[in-house]
Structure 1
Amino acid sequence: MLRRLALAAAFSLAAFPALADRVRPVTDPETQAACGECHMAFQPAFLPARSWDRMMGQLSDHFGDNAAMAPDKTERIRKVLMEGAADTGGGKAGSKALRGIGSKDVPLRITELPRFQKKHDRIAEREWKRPEVMSKANCPACHKGAEAGLYDDD
């Protein structure tokens, strides 16, 4: 019986590989709208809560842009991000994202995380510079289901 369950699970992941790399997507409409105005609304499970807290506290200099918004909106989005963060509600994907990050580290770029770098290390630098990609942070350029939390190895 146990062997059948293991085989069924293995078959399911082989038949539907995207299930193996699913990350809980952002479902809050205000977070999707505010973050999605300039870039994909990244899944909170990719960073620890302390990172989202710091990021939301310095929106006037958000990677060189002013992303400041009304305090009540900032707090709502901060709450969404922190509740779904890698170390608070990110589940299995969050646990994987935290690998190699010190308990006091406050990473702000998902692209600089050890897991991201390991998963993308085989990609040539010229690929990141293609007009349809342009940035390592442009997940949907290569992962068509990224906004829904699906990251296959395409």
Structure 2
Amino acid sequence: MVTDPFFRTALLTAAGTVLLAASAHADGPRGWPPGMPPAYVQECAACHTAYPPGMLPAASWQRVMAGLDRHYGTDAALDEAAVKQIGGWLQAHAGSHRRVAESPPEDRITRSRWFLRKHDEIAPAVWRLPSVGSAANCGACHTRADRGDYDEDFLRMPAGLSDGQRRAWRD
């Protein structure tokens, strides 16, 4: 048992900092993990948001990388060296916390339970707005998605929201 008041305060402060950092990480990725291959952004972000690897479990990333020749209806095949480099990085930094432990249907981030829960207030019509296009267009609302940062403090309303959708957004 710690009886020194200074030591107890320091210990509690350190514990609080660790818990705060852990809860921030559990809420979502905050930036890119180290060692991101330039080919990841070059190849993947050319067509869609380059998603942080923590958004899917390792098994999902493995299937995504193995099926690039039929990547959600598109041939996104890469040379073997790029697949190995990108796949290794995705595997090394894949989501392992409880939130993303299960592979979502079709290995789609936008069909994962955590994604649906975080976006349950978004009306289906919003995903179809020309300024959004689909739930996979994270940058339509998340201004730092290109940095791998989905902090809710940096959201913007997409163009074309109705008055009712704007009110719902602010709630």
Give the TM-score taking structure 2 as reference length: 0.69
Shift of residue 72 of structure 1? Answer: 1.2
Larger Rg: 2
Would you say 1:5 and 2:4 are equivalent positions?
no
Equivalent residues in 2 for 1:1-154 (5 A)? 1=9, 5=13, 21-25=28-32, 27-87=36-96, 94-98=97-101, 101=102, 108-153=107-152, 154=155
User: Which one has more relative contact order, counting CA pairs under 8 Å at least 6 apart?
Assistant: 1
The alpha-carbon deviation at position 74 of structure 1 amounts to: 1.0
Q: Deviations over 1:83-114 (max 9, x none)?
A: 11012xxxxxx44333xx27xx7751001110
Q: Is the 8 A contact 2:29 2:52 kept in 1?
A: no
**If the length of structure 1 is used for normalisation, what is the TM-score?**
0.76
Q: Percent identity?
A: 33
Q: CA deviation at 1:2?
A: 5.8
In angstroms, what is the RMSD of aligned CA positions? Answer: 2.9
Residue matched to 2:166: none
Letter in 1 for 2:99: K
Q: 5+ residue gaps in structure 2? A: 1-8, 156-171
Q: Secondary structure at the match of 1:72?
A: helix
Query: 1:4 deviation in Å?
Result: 7.6
- Equivalent AA in structure 1 for residue 132 of structure 2: V
- Residue 125 of structure 2 aligns to a residue whose secondary structure is helix
Contact 1:31 1:80 in 2 (8 A): no
Distance 1:147 1:97, change over 3 A: farther
